[in-house]
């Protein structure tokens, strides 16, 4: 708690999925609302230099979560937007933070920065050993450039900036919009609606052969808070759960938890994305003692229940 005492903290994207859980996590660590600046995109456009300058003014810490994101379909349809928006926001924000004299800048990157064929589990040391999976490469590379900037600013200016690589998030409060949602909320919505409408089949993208790792959003928020408090190294750090599940098994589990007993139809004309994703999480545990806590099936059930309750109120 002494680390946070009296500090003014900017959280970009603080009203979003991960950001709202980070705000709650910081409150548990003694941070008051008066210490926080959580700008909304409608009020401050971080794609504009003036917006970044205004955002960091008088701040001691900057935690950069704001990002333009989406699932495979959204990435395929909006590669230029995803590259430009994510690169320009981060590059300008880090520079503005340096000029303002911010004590520490925490950059939250993405697992999409890893090469398409990275040895599993993904080690931070393999981050530059290949090109990212094509469907999300513009997004992944835009966020990856912020690591280059973070390390360059540390070398030239002595600027304290750290870079974290969270794996796919899930949990209550996720984005369930079918146009832009990631795999877990997209699947949950499909199966919940199929049950509600009495349908006997659900169509799912891909072959089911790919695998993914997922971290419960509250665990991710705790990991970011711990890194902010305790880590000040130049090397990137994975934030993950250290687990891996095939998409086919994920689909079966969601079907079971939502009570769907019909047929699952795989559309193999749609992309699987990166073949495998599972992080080596040893560095986070070694450097600042972080380990994920939430058991996956339990977290998934909580996420489904949250969506069902929200849907019933609509």
Domain total in the chain: 1
Catalytic residue status for 139: yes
The answer to whether residue 304 sits within a structural domain is no
The answer to whether residue 234 sits within a structural domain is yes
The answer to whether residue 182 sits within a structural domain is no
pLDDT digits (tens, 9 = 90+) for 120-153: 999 999 999 999 999 899 999 999 999 999 999 9
CATH of the domain at 120: 3.40.50.720
The answer to whether residue 306 sits within a structural domain is no
What pLDDT score was predicted for residue 72? 78
Catalytic residue among 84, 114, 131, 139: 139
The answer to whether residue 190 sits within a structural domain is no
pLDDT digits (tens, 9 = 90+) for 32-49: 999 999 999 888 999 999
Output the six-digit token pair for 25: 């996590």
Only one residue has tokens 């986070």, namely: 284
54 vs 73: CA distance, rounded Å: 34
* Confidence band, pLDDT 50/70/90 cuts, at residue 313: confident
For residue 29, list its beta bridge partners.
none
The answer to whether residue 86 sits within a structural domain is yes
What pLDDT score was predicted for residue 314? 67
Cα Rg of the chain, angstroms: 19
The answer to whether residue 311 sits within a structural domain is no
178 vs 190: CA distance, rounded Å: 9
pLDDT digits (tens, 9 = 90+) for 257-300: 999 999 999 999 988 888 888 999 999 999 999 999 999 999 99
Q: Which range of residues forms the domain containing residue 239? A: 9-174+213-244+275-295
The H or E element that residue 106 is part of is strand 104-108
Contacts 24+ apart (CB under 8 A), 303-308: 303/170, 303/171, 303/172, 303/174, 303/184, 303/185, 303/188, 304/188, 304/192, 304/254, 304/257, 304/258, 306/171, 306/172, 306/173, 307/174, 307/176, 307/185, 307/188, 307/189, 307/192, 308/192
The answer to whether residue 56 sits within a structural domain is yes
């Amino acid at each position: 708690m002494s680390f946070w005492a009296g500090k003014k903290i900017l959280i970009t994207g603080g009203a979003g999925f991960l950001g709202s859980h980070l705000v709650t996590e910081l409150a548990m660590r003694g941070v008051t609302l008066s210490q926080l600046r959580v700008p909304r995109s409608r009020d401050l456009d971080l794609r504009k230099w003036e917006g970044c300058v205004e955002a960091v003014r008088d701040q001691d810490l900057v935690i950069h979560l704001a990002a333009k994101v989406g699932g495979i379909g959204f990435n395929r349809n909006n590669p230029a937007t995803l590259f430009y928006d994510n690169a320009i926001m981060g590059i300008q924000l880090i520079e503005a933070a340096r000029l303002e004299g911010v004590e520490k800048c925490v950059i939250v990157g993405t697992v999409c920065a890893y090469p398409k064929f990275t040895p599993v589990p993904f080690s931070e040391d393999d981050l530059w050993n290949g090109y990212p999976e094509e469907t999300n490469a513009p997004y992944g590379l835009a966020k990856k450039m912020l690591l280059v900037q973070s390390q360059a600013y540390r070398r030239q200016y002595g600027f304290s900036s750290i870079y974290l690589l969270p794996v796919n998030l899930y949990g209550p409060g996720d984005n369930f919009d079918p146009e832009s949602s990631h795999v877990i909320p997209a699947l949950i919505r499909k199966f919940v609606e199929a049950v509600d409408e009495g349908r006997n089949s659900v169509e799912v993208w891909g072959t089911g052969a790919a695998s993914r790792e997922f971290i419960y959003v509250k665990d991710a928020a705790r990991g970011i808070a711990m890194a902010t408090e305790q880590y000040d190294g130049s090397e990137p750090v994975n934030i993950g759960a250290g687990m891996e599940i095939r998409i086919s098994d994920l689909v079966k589990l969601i079907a079971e938890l939502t009570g769907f007993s019909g047929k699952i139809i795989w559309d193999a004309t749609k992309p699987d994305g990166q073949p495998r994703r599972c992080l080596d999480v040893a560095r986070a545990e070694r450097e600042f003692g972080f380990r994920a806590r939430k058991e996956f099936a339990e977290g998934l059930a909580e996420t489904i229940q949250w969506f069902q309750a929200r849907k019933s109120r609509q």
